[in-house]
């Protein structure tokens, strides 16, 4: 049995830190992006950006595939393979696929 941490919630153990960050720090941005689908590019707006993913603003009627490329226009142009994680109305959350930059 492991010792409970002082001032930690019930069930916490000494082996696990009290605070473990669960995601990369997000930065609020308003950048232009393009979703690359087969033979067309669709404009989108990037609202949050982190090392692990982004929050996109897209047309609510746009049907997004599970995996696609995202072109991010900043001080340079970056194209990243992304995976759709969630979708609510005009917003979508994506994570960057590992090994793709």
Q: Domain for residue 11, yes or no?
A: no
97/81 Cα distance (integer angstroms): 6
Range of the domain at 61: 31-94
Q: Domain for residue 24, yes or no?
A: no
Number of folded domains that form the chain: 1
Give the pLDDT confidence score for residue 26 in this predicted structure: 74
Pick the closest to residue 52 from 27, 75, 74 (CA basis): 27
CATH at 66: 2.40.10
Give the mean pLDDT of the chain.
80
pLDDT in tens, 76-100: 788 999 999 999 999 999 999 986 5
User: Residue 54 above 70 pLDDT?
Assistant: yes
Q: Domain for residue 15, yes or no?
A: no
Cα 62 to the center of its chain, rounded Å: 18
Pick the closest to residue 81 from 41, 36, 51 (CA basis): 36
**The residue to which tokens 């720090």 are assigned:** 25
Q: Which residue has the higher pLDDT, 66 or 7?
A: 66
Q: Domain for residue 17, yes or no?
A: no
pTM metric for this prediction: 0.70
Give the pLDDT confidence score for residue 7 in this predicted structure: 46
Q: Domain for residue 74, yes or no?
A: yes
**The residue to which tokens 């793709």 are assigned:** 100
Burial of 26 (0-12, 13-18, 19+ CB in 10 A): middle
């Amino acid at each position: 049995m492991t010792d409970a941490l002082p001032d930690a919630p019930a069930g916490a153990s000494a082996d696990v830190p009290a605070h473990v960050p669960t995601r990369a720090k997000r930065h609020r941005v308003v950048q232009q992006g393009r979703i690359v689908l087969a033979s067309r590019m669709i404009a989108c707006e990037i609202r949050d950006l982190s090392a692990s993913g982004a929050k996109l603003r897209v047309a609510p009627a746009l049907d997004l595939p599970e995996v696609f490329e995202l072109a991010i226009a900043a001080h340079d142009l970056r194209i990243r393979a992304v995976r759709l994680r969630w979708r609510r109305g005009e917003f979508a959350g994506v994570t960057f696929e590992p090994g793709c930059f």
